[in-house]
């Protein structure tokens, strides 16, 4: 079937629609709401339930001084090609809370009261409340490392522990490095102050894990040094299903995947961090292991696959289940 649509008939149709709109008969009457959805996402992993909560976006600003080893114009082009701002890199802060049935385990705690990266961080407690999870129900807080944006929410502004019934797990060499008072006169001062503020009040409930150790049922530590001396990833497993919580193995789903040997300014040892990143991403891609990345675009859950000399991130669909 064909239709003979003339210019005159289109103009007539347009005039009719215009008159209808002007009369208000098809105008929307609902007010703009100006609100967003709660900042949590929930899915199942085998017999476990995983709830991802956000501490809020963390803006790094211009990438030129942060992502190094690649010409800055190339970095900006990589961002633009992926419809991201070339002038302001914004990271997410995705913390999985895993309910294993007998343990409720939180991975990393965000910036807490610090506003070192602006006002959009520090909402983890609010996100947990939106998800219906009480801080007192958390049995374990697992820290990938002691940087300011990962241990900042262990205590409140008055240095009172926010998770009163939880043990706190971290690598001992990372704890020792970032709470060392001798570094207070170094460029690392702000990180040390923040680490001491959050870790020293819970010193009596710290538990140190080792590389390869299953220190909680279904949770195995995997050393991934370079970003910090004791930085770790974690393999989380339930009923034969697994994902790797990457911590800060890679901070960006484009830049440090397409160019995994690019260096990141906040790495303690950038060369080691790059080598670790390539090694671990190779393993995850080869074994098709799902990943949860602390800093990838919300909610940070998906897979990495090989793509030339680098990798590509494929986000898992956010399927809602009732």
pLDDT number for residue 15: 54
Per the omega criterion (within 30 degrees of 0), is the bond before 83 cis? no
Burial grade of 186 (CB within 10 A; 0-12, 13-18, 19 or more)? exposed
- Whole-angstrom distance, CA of residue 136 vs CA of residue 279: 38
On average, the pLDDT of the chain sits at 92
pLDDT number for residue 321: 59
Position 37 confidence tier, pLDDT thresholds 50, 70, 90: confident
- DSSP classification of residue 155: B
pLDDT number for residue 10: 47
* pTM (whole model) above 0.75: yes
pLDDT number for residue 8: 54
pLDDT at residue 25 above 60?
Answer: no
How would you classify the pairing of strands 206-209 and 214-216?
unpaired
Overall average pLDDT of the 294-298 stretch? 98
pLDDT number for residue 34: 87
% of residues, the chain, pLDDT over 70: 90
For 290-303, the DSSP string reads EEE-SSSSTT-EEE
pLDDT at residue 16 above 60?
Answer: no
């Amino acid at each position: 079937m064909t239709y003979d649509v003339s210019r005159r008939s289109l103009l007539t149709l347009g005039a009719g629609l215009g008159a209808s709109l002007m009369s208000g008969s098809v105008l929307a009457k609902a007010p703009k709401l100006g609100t967003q959805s709660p900042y949590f996402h929930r899915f199942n992993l085998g017999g476990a339930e995983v709830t991802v909560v956000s501490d809020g976006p963390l803006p790094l600003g211009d990438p030129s001084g942060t992502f190094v080893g690649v010409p800055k114009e190339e970095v900006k082009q990589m961002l633009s090609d992926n419809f991201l701002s070339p002038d302001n890199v914004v990271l997410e802060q995705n913390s999985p809370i895993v309910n294993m049935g007998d343990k409720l385990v939180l991975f990393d705690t965000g910036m807490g009261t610090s506003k070192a990266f602006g006002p959009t961080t520090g909402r983890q407690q609010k996100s947990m409340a939106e998800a219906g999870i009480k801080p007192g129900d958390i049995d374990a807080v697992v820290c990938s490392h002691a940087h300011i944006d990962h241990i900042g929410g262990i205590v409140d502004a008055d240095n009172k522990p926010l998770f009163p019934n939880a043990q706190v797990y971290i690598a001992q060499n990372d704890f020792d490095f970032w709470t060392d008072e001798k570094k207070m006169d170094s460029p690392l001062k702000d990180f040390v102050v923040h680490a001491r503020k959050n870790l020293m009040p819970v010193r009596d409930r710290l538990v140190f894990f080792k590389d390869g150790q299953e220190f909680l049922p279904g949770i195995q530590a995997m050393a991934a040094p370079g970003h910090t001396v004791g930085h770790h990833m974690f393999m989380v497993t339930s009923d034969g299903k697994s994902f790797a919580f990457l911590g800060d193995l890679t901070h960006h789903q484009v830049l440090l995947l397409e160019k995994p040997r690019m260096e990141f300014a906040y790495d303690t040892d950038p060369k080691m961090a790059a080598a670790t990143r390539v090694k671990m991403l190779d393993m995850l891609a080869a074994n098709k292991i799902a990943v949860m990345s602390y800093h990838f675009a919300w909610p940070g859950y998906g897979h990495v696959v090989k793509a030339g000399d680098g990798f590509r991130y494929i986000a898992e669909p956010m399927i809602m289940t009732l």
